[in-house]
A = this chain, B = another copy of it.
Amino acid sequence: MIETKPARQDGPRDGCGLSAMPLFRALPATVRTELAAMAKPIRYARDETVFPAHVPQDHVGCVTRGVLRLEKLLSDGQQQIIGILVASDMFGRMFDGPLGYAIEAATDAEVCLFRRGPFEDLLGRSPELEKLVILNILNEVDAALEWVGVLANRKVSARAASFLLMLCRRWAAQTGALSLDHGRIEVNVPLRRHDLALFLGTRPETLSRAFHSLAEDGFIAMHSPYLFEIRDLDGLTRLSGQDYLSDTDPLLQLARAASNS
């Protein structure tokens, strides 16, 4: 049971820095202005609740910093984590009822909220925003389906490998958590083992063993429980089962960039 602490609201209009977000970059200036005017930035400390489960919300939002987790509580008190949200991910349901899961801060995080009414109104007036929103939801579907594929994999080490690769891919779209210095790929994993284990459908002990086993086999190196280095991208990919590496894969480009630096 995680208690809900009050969240701090702050800042002037467009404290969200919407104009800097790649998510909305493609929109016309007028739409961006209108969005920025209705954006409410809110910060959360780790384990605070953004949206409780099964409660109708009159906001939708997007993540600007940190990681959120989608969490389900089972009848026997067990919790499970069915998704994570990182910067640029949108959440909440326009036109629709309450969510079947809670959204909580997995790290200290910052989000940007929009009231549903004005947002849906703007949606109806801007075909660009509308297309962006539809594409965004389609990406959500893809991400969820990809994760179904990962969890359907029976071996924990394969799931762990898939997670690291997925994280690299997400971080690759932005800066900060992925470092390519000295020809290495270093990836920052901002989740506790406990949360990560729930997300991977296993337990912290087993996950720890899986990571250290990957390290012993030379696929990765762990510089701290939260800082991983990818030492064998191909091997890790093969082990994950998901055949990610087409020649156009952005992660592969990154790896090449890393080995050339």
Q: Mark A residues whose CB is within 8 Å of B.
A: 70, 72, 74-76, 78, 80-83, 93-96, 100-101, 124, 127, 130-131, 133-135, 137-138, 140-142, 144-149, 151-154, 198-202, 237-238, 241-243
Contacts and interface: CB of A to CB of B under 8 A. Distances in A.
A199 to B, nearest CB: 8
Contact of A95 (B134, B152, B243): B134
Given A72-B149, A82-B152, A144-B144, A134 B94 contact: yes
A131 B146 CA distance: 25
Contacts of A151: 148, 151-152, 201
A146 B238 CA distance: 28
A198 B153 CA distance: 9
A131 to B, nearest CB: 6
A94 B137 CA distance: 12
- Oligomer: number of copies: 2
Contacts of A70: 145
Contacts of A72: 149
A242 B154 CA distance: 21
Given A76-B241, A144-B144, A148-B151, A135 B95 contact: yes
Contacts of A134: 94-95, 133-134, 137
A100 B198 CA distance: 25
Contact of A127 (B83, B124, B138): B124
A116 to B, nearest CB: 13
Contacts of A242: 74-75
Nearest to A139: B96
Nearest to A82: B148
Contact of A83 (B145, B201, B237): B145
A147 B149 CA distance: 10
Nearest to A124: B127
Given A75-B242, A137-B134, A83 B148 contact: yes
Given A152-B80, A241-B76, A100 B146 contact: yes
A250 to B, nearest CB: 14
25 contacts: A72-B149, A74-B241, A74-B242, A75-B241, A76-B241, A80-B149, A80-B153, A81-B152, A82-B152, A83-B148, A93-B138, A95-B135, A95-B138, A100-B142, A130-B130, A134-B137, A137-B137, A137-B141, A141-B144, A144-B147, A144-B148, A151-B152, A151-B201, A152-B201, A154-B201
Given A95-B135, A241-B74, A241-B76, A198 B152 contact: yes
